[in-house]
Chains A and B, each alone.
Chain A
Amino acid sequence: MAQEKEHKFKPEDTQTVIGAGVKVEGKFIAVGDVVLKGELSGTLDTESSLFLEEGAFINGDMTAKNSSLAGAIKGNIKVQDRVALTKTAKIKGDLEVSDLSIEAGAIFNGRCAIGRTEDVMPKEKTV
């Protein structure tokens, strides 16, 4: 019998799409990429990328590995690698990220911490 090797579940197989016809309320945790075209009220966590499309809105905090933001967020953003704010993005909240790009026209109102903490902090010297 040729018992086929179980293929490992890959996060990119689960791309969640929150369309313009729905609103999510609560604690939304995703394994794969998330495309948000509608509204989310609560928190959003993904180990992959968040694509916040123009017209979409997050009312709450979010964390992701990477983010492309063209919609609006009222809340704090924590992204492990890269955030790209496009010209339609509207952010009100604090941003913590390794690498940030902002297109002309984007609105950002909050504090921003860019770069990895370990890259900027001098090592303590022992005497």
Chain B
Amino acid sequence: MYLYLYDSFLVEQKYRKTIDQIETRLTDLGISGRTIRLTILKNAREVIKDNLREEIDTVVVIGSDKLFSESAMALAGTEVTLGFIPVGESAMADILDIPKSIEACDVVSGRRVQKIDLGRINGQYFLNSVQIDSAKVSVKCDGLYQIVSSGGIKSIKIVNLDWLNFTLTEPDITIEKRASSAKDGLLEVVFSKAPRVTFPLFKKIEQKDSLFYVKRIQFNVLGDREIMARVDNERILKLPLIIEIVPNCLKLIVGRSHLI
């Protein structure tokens, strides 16, 4: 049985037509199910956990990347499959190759299921990434080596499922990694320098310096200042941090040309 979670912003009148079209298409495909319309007072994780006691085998999020991430946390370690019908801006839609709005119904119906990894930060799951906007940290990887900033590093991003856009061109090798792999049992760690400003358009261009693959990474503060990490562009956590990969943790419906 399908459970459809509607994002809270979809109550706005301008989405009425889109929602009608999605509901009609789901009925045509024979995959309609129970629907729950979230409000800012209803926590997605609690709603999912309450409903998992019943015969739900698929939860489909209709709405934003934020609700999609929250739902992934709630379904971590279960056998319930997560689907996504993106409405509005969505970085996940492109990585997972899921078209927006009504066309995503066909991807849900197709049930191309992949089992992906999740990240865990200080004991809590995360789906996408953790960003630390400081290099004044000690970084220990897999209990084997440490990474020290030798100058110019401004931020560190630990990625499970997100865009990387890491390119490197050297005389003897070219590397182009568009998105992370969420099925390799590893986290990608990107060290970046301060953005370069182009002239005459004054456009900021990210300068990615290093790319590592780890199973477990530990961050401690160097100095007295508090340093914060942003988790999935939503939660804020204070260092120290222990971040690790949890392999094969979530069943996800993806499009044919997904990048994971």
A-to-B contact residues, CB < 8 Å: 1-4, 6-7, 9, 13-33, 35, 37-39, 42, 51, 53, 68, 70
B210 and A38 contacting across the interface, CB-CB below 8 Å? yes
**Closest residue to A15 on the B side, CB-wise?**
B175
Interchain CB contact (< 8 A) of B184 among A2, A13, A19, A33: A13
B173 touches A26 (CB 8 A): no
With both chains docked as a complex, state the minimum distance between the C-beta of A43 and any C-beta of chain B, in angstroms.
9
**B205 in contact (CB, < 8 A):** no
Q: Knowing A6-B115, A17-B210 touch, does A23 contact B147 (C-beta < 8 A)?
A: yes
The 8 closest A-B pairs by CB, nearest first: A26-B145, A19-B209, A19-B210, A21-B209, A17-B211, A27-B144, A23-B148, A23-B150
User: Could you say which residues of chain A place their CB within 8 Å of the CB of B254?
Assistant: 4
- Chain B positions 123 through 150: 1 when the CB is less than 8 Å from some CB of chain A, otherwise 0: 0000000000000000000001111111
Interface size on B, residues (CB 8 A): 37
How many Å lie between the Cα of A3 and that of B177 in the bound state? 26
B241 in the interface, Cβ–Cβ < 8 Å?
A: no
In the assembled complex, the CB of B193 is this many whole angstroms from the nearest CB of chain A, namely: 6
B185 at the interface (CB under 8 A from A): yes
- Assess whether B183 is interfacial by the CB under 8 Å rule: yes
Q: How far is the CA of A112 from the CA of B63 in the complex (A)?
A: 63
A-B contact count (CB 8 A): 100
**What are 13 residue pairs bridging A and B, where the CB atoms are less than 8 Å apart in the complex?**
A3-B113, A9-B185, A13-B181, A15-B211, A19-B208, A21-B149, A21-B152, A22-B150, A22-B209, A23-B150, A24-B147, A35-B168, A37-B170
Interface residues of B in 176-198 (CB under 8 A from A): 177, 181, 183-186, 191, 193
**Cβ of B12 < 8 Å from any Cβ of A?**
no
Which B residues touch A15, using CB under 8 A? 173, 175, 177, 211
Q: What is the distance, in angstroms, from B205's C-beta to the closest C-beta of chain A?
A: 16
> Are A17 and B168 neighbours in the complex by a CB distance under 8 Å?
yes
With the chains together, A79 CA to B41 CA distance in Å? 61
CB distance from A53 to the nearest CB of B (A): 6
Whether the Cβ atoms of A7 and B213 lie closer than 8 Å is no
Chain B residues with CB under 8 A of A3: 113
